[in-house]
């Protein structure tokens, strides 16, 4: 079993990930991928679901009977969301997971 520390703004907690066997019964311990891959899958699922929930709540702001807004404000919100997704895509495409430079001459 592998463990690592999760640091939050207000506290630290230890999280343990078990190496789950694959369909063939192996756990790929020789390659060392299983725990990292499972950690990625767990965090990606959790964070993506939270992001989708937050985007849904932004969509709730479209209710004209409760909120008032103009098209320029909506374009600004949508652009910020699209830019954030583009940055995530760029980070996965980069060899070291870093965001690409925003300005080039």
E strand or H helix at 30, and its extent?
none
Is the pLDDT at 27 greater than 70? The verdict is: no
Check whether residue 73 and residue 54 sit in a common domain.
no
Per the model's pLDDT, the better-predicted residue between 74 and 30 turns out to be 74
- Give the distance from CA 16 to its chain's centroid: 20
Looking at residue 53, its pLDDT comes to: 98
Residue 36 lies in a domain: yes
Q: Tell me the H-state helices in the chain.
A: 34-60, 71-93
**Choice among 40-44, 60-64, 72-76, 90-94 with the minimum mean pLDDT:** 90-94
Per the model's pLDDT, the better-predicted residue between 10 and 75 turns out to be 75
Is the pLDDT at 15 greater than 60? The verdict is: no
Residue 101 lies in a domain: no
Tell me which residue range forms the domain holding 52: 29-60
Residue 100 lies in a domain: no
Is the pLDDT at 71 greater than 90? The verdict is: yes
């Amino acid at each position: 079993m592998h463990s690592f520390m999760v640091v939050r703004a207000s506290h630290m907690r230890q999280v343990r990930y078990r190496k789950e066997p694959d369909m063939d019964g192996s756990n790929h311990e020789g390659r060392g991928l299983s725990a990292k891959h499972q950690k990625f899958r767990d965090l990606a699922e959790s964070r993506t679901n939270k992001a989708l929930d937050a985007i849904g709540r932004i969509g709730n702001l479209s209710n004209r009977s409760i909120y008032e807004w103009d098209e320029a404000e909506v374009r600004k919100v949508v652009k910020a969301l699209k830019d954030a997704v583009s940055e995530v895509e760029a980070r996965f495409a980069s060899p070291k997971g870093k965001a690409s430079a925003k300005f080039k001459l």
